[in-house]
Chains A and B, each alone.
Chain A
């Protein structure tokens, strides 16, 4: 018994510390948001929802929230729409062209955010299309394209080609086979890719700032401006909002899909 107890004990302790490390800043921000006073202190002196009321009645914060949600939703959709044909072609035709396109598409995700931000601000500057919300949407879709590409590739690879062939031998045409075999298998991966890009876009700061920061204040931009100008308790409310959205999106994903598999685990997990 003793041997196992020691090793599981050490393991629990380690994972406990990791969890504490990850959770601490989040708990602090959430705590501060419930503070009754204006001072930035933790633990909160007295519990209050003042700042929540202020946040949700403030026109500027609400405008930022709307802009952020619009950008994230559109960017997620656009990224998946672009990635889906590429990932499908890589899987279905295994052609050099599609593989090269997948490589190019994933490349921006590997580049530093700063570099990408400079690139896109130059691009929109050159085209004279400045400070528009679609700039942020397209830039985000391009940067995060690597995520749907890799997730969808994992999804397609998980489809048993034998199943597809079986469907064909039973008289299913290309579109029937797609509808019967490919679409149901891919749905969780598509949802996961959408959620992933949505959440990352929602939290992205630098590119949004450099591309259209002077006209569109997304939530992260507003928080950052606040942070530099001086402390404002409502920004903690925005922060809590982010956390809630993030955890809800991924929690929902775990509820509808096999999260370990979506995250790339190949061997089945029992229990």
Chain B
């Protein structure tokens, strides 16, 4: 198998299981994001891949070779740490050339490679600068360049952009994506920011409680969350308690609704209906109040966002958030009753 393979990997710390039986394969050249809330085990998983933590059980193999017992300095997966871990006693150039120095490359080769990498991260001519002279974004780029210098087989980034402000973060994300596309290097990025994961990754691994909750292309995960955790963590989701009647109908209060599918075929009885706010539509009283999937709710708040309105309604089974285009809203305020349509295709049923 060409690529990185994790097989039933677990990490037990005294008193808690950080990573719980994770199996995953990452094909060569992919950009994968480990996405999850803090404490979900994503960083531990990455550190095990780098060789900084030893798994309690399970194996890691690269291109079919078991590397579980290899120390980090033998694996040499380039890693960008959350703290960046740039060496303050070395200059920018010396930091980037660190791995080349360890490999015993001569000064000329090192100089050329450093210049080339600095150009790549758009910091040409920064070789002699001290780390303390750089801005946050510049340090970020030096860290990215430093981990690339050794031409790693796996490129690992642990929340590399979390310390940056929003604008700079977006710029850096775009640059990283472009860089990865150019170099075609297998990249794993750990993040708790779902937007970051959506914009960067070819494939997202959603983690929660030390386990993989769902894995797939960003759009698939967004469209079809596998469970409640994913629905909640990736994007906003409305969750209404329903009772499953059969594989395509559920009961919400007194109403029977048609749904796209029941995600887990074992789901029965009490379950959750999940629908994204942007998919909740206002029902047109002229045509469709009698449609199967129209329900009534009491408006509790309306927030005017300019082009859109965020409306929160109270209805059977829970609270419902919907985003409506300003021109579609007919001026109902808090306390009024509104009718909304939950299109069948967007209604997914998850285990409660």
Contacts and interface: CB of A to CB of B under 8 A. Distances in A.
B182 to A, nearest CB: 35
Contacts of A3: 54, 69, 71
Interface of A: 1-4
Interface of B: 54, 69, 71
6 contacts: A1-B54, A2-B69, A3-B54, A3-B69, A3-B71, A4-B54
Contacts of B54: 1, 3-4
Nearest to A1: B54
Nearest to B53: A4
Contacts of A2: 69
Nearest to A5: B54
Nearest to A2: B69
- Which 6 A-B pairs rank lowest in CB-CB distance, beginning with the nearest? A4-B54, A3-B71, A3-B69, A1-B54, A3-B54, A2-B69
A3 B74 CA distance: 13
A1 B11 CA distance: 12
A89 to B, nearest CB: 31
A18 B71 CA distance: 28
A186 B54 CA distance: 42
A9 to B, nearest CB: 15
Contacts of B69: 2-3
Contacts of A4: 54
Nearest to B15: A271
Contacts of A1: 54
B126 to A, nearest CB: 30
A1 B57 CA distance: 10
A3 B71 CA distance: 8
Nearest to B54: A4
A184 to B, nearest CB: 31
Nearest to B70: A3
B73 to A, nearest CB: 11
A116 B334 CA distance: 81
A175 B71 CA distance: 57
A3 B67 CA distance: 13
A1 B58 CA distance: 12
A2 B71 CA distance: 11
A3 B70 CA distance: 9
Nearest to B56: A1
Contacts of B71: 3
A4 B69 CA distance: 10
A2 to B, nearest CB: 7
